[in-house]
Amino acid sequence: MQAATIEVLALFDRDIRYLVPIFQRNYRWNEKDHWGPLWVDVRDVAEDLLDIDEGIEPSDHFLGAIVCEQQSSFGRDAHAVAVIDGQQRLMTLQLLLGAARSVSARRGLPDTDYLTGLVENKPAVVRDRPEHRYKIRPNIADRDSYAAAMAAARGSSAPEQAAQFFERAIDRWLDVGLEEDPLDDADNTPEQRLEALVTALTRGVKVVKIDLEANDNAQVIFETLNARGERLTDADLIRNYLFRMADEQKVDVEDLHSRYWKPFEGKEWQARVAHGRHQRDRLQLYLNYWLSMKRKEEVPASAIFRAFKEHAGARSAQEIAADIARSATVFDSFDHQDPDSDEWWFFRRISEMDLITVYPVMLWLLGQDEADLSVVRKRATMQALESFLGRRLVGRFSTRSYGDVFIQVLKRAGDGPVSEADVRIIELLAEKSAEADRWPSDEEFRSLVLNTNVYRLKQSRLRMILEAADRRMASGGRTETVTLGHNLWIEHLLPQGWRSAESWQLPSELADLAEAETQRDHLLHTLGNLTLTTSKLDIELSNRAWETKVIQIGDFSSLALNRDITGRYPGKWDETTIRDRSGRLADILIDVWPSPGALLATRE
């Protein structure tokens, strides 16, 4: 490769086309991090130029590196180079020059023609080919917005926003100079200022231009350069690698982009979504799950791109792109199931449990053709997974092994006819016996419901458990029910402050009062003593005698969960009724989350 530090003028002072390959990421620079700082730096160089007579040596501004790869051009065509890296700064320089031209033209200043020569190729070179007009040919996603920006349009795309920002900044500076210096505009006209600005931008801003030679590996250089500074995301690197593969395989990359990758450039896929305690790009999260599914191994977030390269191997870029797009449709469906369907409830509960480590399995499961794996069997698998996770949640078991468990599920699912994958998955989970991964039996689960302090769970997860019981109690869960949502309060039936509430004191004549208090405290935070209310009960009401409180519970909520309480326990609430209700809730949740034996029995 050949590298040299050059002025911006040397980039654009001849007829040239900088071609941004389709595999490069879209234009993403913004005002806060990029346009604003660049403008201040260029403006300061221009201020120095205006002060040369006062003995101030003008400073230079170094913008970074641009990596180019020579392309073939013919006859009178403009010289063509592919931009391997640096397209963000290259486009921004052109947008700044274009904004200066727009300001100059609007004000009738003499620099307009000179600036036009820096952003457009000569008409004799363009020759009725619009794509040859500008000195940068952006990737397909940015072409229309870039052309609009250079035409001084007022749209909302990033290139148009950049051009508008620079126009406003230039206009303001031409009129008033440095705003913090009231006298700064006294000695220079707008024409002089624009001339200084153009000189600062073309002569005072410098870049390192790296020209690759025939034996240079552009992909390796690209990855190395982007391992520093503002790092590209793994999704960006995968996009780059995939379309470079397509180019090398002589595939029509623009057609490939249009058919398979274009949807990923929408806001929905670029959004940040919760992932445990962190926020991650939705596209990157999806690619992580997709790779785990394809490779049947856990893929750490730090190794997504490396795993992709290993997976890609000698495969067809067309095949990979089609597979990614097909599975993305499945991934999208996780958030768009029919309300109140079995699938909708599954994903709602998995989300509340924050156990989306199961998503690689779901990508595989819902991606199977119904002719190979019926809807009934898919739902049986989902019910098994939810039961495994739900039962362990009630017992507050560790989730650390789940990543490995679900990779085992993927392997077992593919180890035989797809039509019987549900049975193999249920059998695998039923085989687990260690505390880290066992599926609690009905007997153990009933004990967990009766004895576990579930109030220590995250409140949204506890609401989900109670909600599941309520839905099953409402007509056996077979009819449409109202979505309860998050506007529900978890209420202790035996109040947390029972010791200070006169109506809830234990009889003083008990033979072992201390033991009775211990037993009551043990039951206080178990599932049998908890319910949901649509409004938070006032503390005073919460501590009232049961005969009053049970009426309030009925008034504050018509949930099946509470109708059951007011109907079964109108007269008293104590340790005996708590245990009774815990046993009832255990039976209901066993119906919601069946044992592996019960699920396998339905398959026979």
Residue 224's pLDDT band (boundaries 50, 70, 90)?
low
| pLDDT of res. 538 | 63
**Where are the chain's structural domains?**
2-232, 241-444, 453-592
| pLDDT of res. 479 | 36
pLDDT digits (tens, 9 = 90+) for 114-134: 999 999 999 999 998 999 999
| pLDDT of res. 184 | 58
What is the arrangement of strands in the sheet containing 16-19, beginning at the earlier edge strand?
2-7, 205-212, 61-70, 79-85, 16-19, 136-137
Separate counts of helices (H) and strands (E) for the chain: 28, 10
pLDDT > 60? residue 101: yes
Cβ contacts of 32 within 8 Å, gap of 6 or more: none
Spatial distance between the Cα atoms of 468 and 466, rounded to a whole number of angstroms: 5
Cβ contacts of 384 within 8 Å, gap of 6 or more: 422, 425, 426, 429, 596, 599
152: left (phi over 0), alpha (psi -120 to 50) or beta: left
Lowest mean pLDDT among 31-40, 196-205, 268-277, 315-324: 268-277
Contact predicate 174/28, CB 8 Å: no
pLDDT digits (tens, 9 = 90+) for 389-433: 999 999 999 999 999 999 999 999 999 999 999 999 999 999 999
Contact predicate 166/97, CB 8 Å: no
Q: What is the mean pLDDT of the chain?
A: 89
pLDDT > 70? residue 513: yes
pLDDT over 90 percentage in the chain: 67
State the pTM of this model: 0.77
pLDDT > 60? residue 229: no
Residue 247's pLDDT band (boundaries 50, 70, 90)?
confident
- Give the highest mean pLDDT range of 93-97, 245-249, 549-553: 93-97
Beta bridge partners of residue 489, listed in sequence order: 533
Give 489 or 458, the one with higher predicted confidence: 458
Residue 291 is encoded by which pair of tokens? 């790779």
pLDDT > 70? residue 55: no
Residue 183's pLDDT band (boundaries 50, 70, 90)?
low
pLDDT digits (tens, 9 = 90+) for 518-571: 999 999 999 999 998 877 666 666 788 999 888 888 876 678 999 999 999 999
pLDDT > 90? residue 47: no
Q: If residue 463 lies in a helix (H) or strand (E), which one and from where to where?
A: helix 459-473
pLDDT > 80? residue 108: yes
- Give the highest mean pLDDT range of 279-283, 379-383, 547-551: 379-383
Lowest mean pLDDT among 148-162, 358-372, 527-541, 560-574: 527-541
pLDDT > 60? residue 478: no
| pLDDT of res. 24 | 79
